[in-house]
Structure 1
Amino acid sequence: MKKPLKIVAVCGMGMGTVFLIKSNVERVLSELKVPAEVIATNISSLSTGPDVDIIVASVDFEQQLKGRGTRVVLLKNILDREELKQKLMPILKELGYLS
C-alpha cells in the first residue's frame, strides 16, 4: 500500500469554508480508496514543503498559490464534489494512486 498523501485544504480565514473543502476532499478520496492525511489551514499560514503533495483551494487563491512547486487543485465551486473529483483524478493517476 502506498504511503498516505498529504493534502492541504486552504481558504482565506481558516474558518468554516476550509472545513467544507477538507470534508469533501476526504469523502472523494474515501470513494476512490486513496489514503491521505487532509489538513485545513488558511492562506497566510500555508507552508508548503516537500511533504505536501496537493493543495486544494478556491479559484480565488490562484495568484497566491502560483509558483509554490506543489500540485494545486483550484475549485470554482467548493461544494461540488464532482468538480473536485474530476480535478483530483488526473493528479492521483500521475502520482500512481489510481490506474
Structure 2
Amino acid sequence: MKVLTVCGLGMGTSLILKMNVESILKDNNVKANIEHMDVSAANSTDADLIVTSNELAGNLEGHKAKLVVIKNFFDKEEIIAALKEAAII
C-alpha cells in the first residue's frame, strides 16, 4: 500500500504525521510505503491512502486514494481511530 501524509508545505507536520502513521501501521502489521509531501505534490502522486488535515482535504477531492482526515497530527489515539474507521487497521 502506498500512503501519503500531506500538509501545506510538505515539511514539518507531514513528516511528524508520517512517523506516527508509520509506527501505527507497523504495530498493526500493515505493510506500507509512506511518503510525506505538500498538497500540490500529493495531487499528482499515485497513492492508495492519503492522511491529511480537514483544511487540506478539500484540495485533494477527486484523488483516487482513500482520504483519512486527522485534526491533531500528534495524537496517536486519534490517528488509530481514524485508520480503524477507514478500515486500514
Please give the TM-score of this superposition, normalised by the length of structure 1. Answer: 0.80
Deviations 1:2-58 (A, max 9, x none): xxx110011101111110010000011011111111011111111243xx1100011
- Counterpart position of 1:9: 5
TM-align CA RMSD: 1.3
Worse overlay, 12-21 or 64-73: 64-73
Q: Kindly name which structure, 1 or 2, has the bigger radius of gyration based on alpha carbons.
A: 1
Match of 1:88 among 80, 83, 88: 83
Q: Supply the AA of the counterpart residue of 1:73.
A: V
- Counterpart position of 1:58: 53
Q: Which sections of structure 2, spanning at least 5 residues, go unmatched?
A: none
Which aligned segments of 4 or more residues in structure 1 are displaced greater than 3 angstroms? none
The answer to whether the 8 Å contact 2:48/2:64 transfers is: no
Q: What is the distance in 2 between the residues matched to 1:41 and 1:24? A: 15
Please give the TM-score of this superposition, normalised by the length of structure 2. Answer: 0.88
Q: What is the distance in 1 between the residues matched to 2:63 and 2:25? A: 23
Q: Percent identity?
A: 36
